[in-house]
Structure 1
Amino acid sequence: MSRYTEQEGRSLGLSGWVQNTRRGSVIGQIQGAAGKVDQMKDWLRNVGSPSSRIDRAVFSNERDLKEPELKGFKTRH
């Protein structure tokens, strides 16, 4: 899922990263305009990659930033 998530994040102009876990889930961090972050969250909840099965999406540690702390959107391994 990471490749598709990375692609979606970039298309929305977001900064951050995603990483597949050994448990079959995906973790990450997303930064950007609130509306774009909301769009990404909706995509993660309802669309995801073509081969993914989405059981649930949990978002935590949300906060407002004046400027993004990360640059670009990438997959971590």
Structure 2
Amino acid sequence: MAAAPGDTGQLKRIGFEVFGRYTAATAKQNSIVGWVRNTPSGTVEGEAEGSVSHINTFKEWLQHTGSPKSRIEKCEFSYEKTIDNLTFDSFRIIK
């Protein structure tokens, strides 16, 4: 998944910290495990695992809500597949 909030389409360090915290909190509220990180190109990427209904709620939040004052310009999801077991035990921000 990738999302790029911010006025210029580029993320600043402080902006990512805020977005990352809200993303992690929203993931935890929805029993989602995985990770999120800022990329060198100024976007955000990550992996998320959970029940189909919780993943759909999380995707909706990423596509339409995000953190306060964020502007979501584009949000893509790829490599979606059904899994038998979770491969992560928590949701974390990779710095």
Q: Same fold (TM over 0.5)?
A: yes
Q: What amino acid does structure 2 have at the position aligned with 1:67? A: N
Quote the RMSD (CA, aligned, Å). 0.9
- 1:20-59, Cα deviation, whole Å (9 max, x unpaired): 2233321000000011000000000000011311011100
> After TM superposition, which residue ranges in structure 1, 4 or more long, deviate above 4 angstroms?
none
- Max radius of gyration: which structure? 2
Q: Where in structure 2 are the equivalents of 1:12-31 lying within 5 Å?
A: 12-31=30-49
Q: Where in structure 2 are the equivalents of 1:1-77 lying within 5 Å?
A: 1-77=19-95
Uncovered stretches (5+) of structure 2, i.e. residues with no partner: 1-18
Using the aligned pairs only, state the percent identity. Answer: 32
TM-score of the superposed pair, with normalisation by structure 2:
0.77
Q: What amino acid does structure 1 have at the position aligned with 2:59? A: K
> 2:39, 2:88 → 1: CA distance?
21
